[in-house]
Structure 1
């Protein structure tokens, strides 16, 4: 099983950031909470900081742990760990995605969210 982390970035209006995977990438066309694989020797928090810097050119502050979801993709299972985060510094510049939007939690079910990310809609709704 592969450990993967997701940042649920929140802005001052209570919206969360989702990003759309660009063509040529695995899961192209799906929206997701940004993040990535936890590398050997990294904590989930260290991985999130590295991934958001690599994928979006931003520094983040990690807040509360939201929860986890085990999802079985064709390539094998992943355990997705999600954390609430905020942007500390930087302007978003995308590398693995072609778009991003700030969206209200109640509107997340209106986009084509990656299957592993879907359970976090309910977790976020319950925590708000």
Structure 2
């Protein structure tokens, strides 16, 4: 069985990372994640991420590079995370989320991240810190 890829976006802007709070399904509601969604057949992960962020947040973004690793989700699905940058628009919680927060590197621990997002969030923060110094 082929695993379906779910793409998550570590959307970084002005030294901060975007966190999105789930409103559904009930078992995930109230926890925070990197926004994104399932890649459609024939779609590259980068294309899927740009489309999902447009649908979920109403913004135009550019996928930059994949964060190493993959994390199992429900059976048959695996999470791949890409860093992304905001090209235009102001993110709004249009689908599946009820709140968004921009978090600086020292604030990411303030929200309850979904377990599978934590390793990618940690790596995104490491890159944010490195970029902030550079």
2:37 corresponds to: 36
Question: Runs of 5+ in structure 1 lacking a partner?
Answer: none
2:5 corresponds to: 3
> What TM-score, normalized to structure 1?
0.85
Quote the offset at 1:2 in angstroms: 2.5
Query: After superposition, what is the alpha-carbon deviation per residue over 1:55-114, rounded to whole angstroms, capped at 9, x for unaligned?
Result: 0111101212222322244xx153211111111112222222110001023432332101
1:86 corresponds to: 85
2:57 corresponds to: 56
1:18 corresponds to: 19
Query: After superposition, what is the alpha-carbon deviation per residue over 1:26-79, rounded to whole angstroms, capped at 9, x for unaligned?
Result: 621110011001111110001001101110111101212222322244xx1532
Contact 1:10 1:85 in 2 (8 A): yes
Moved segments of 4+, more than 3 Å = 23-26
Question: Runs of 5+ in structure 2 lacking a partner?
Answer: none
> What TM-score, normalized to structure 2?
0.82
Aligned length: 125
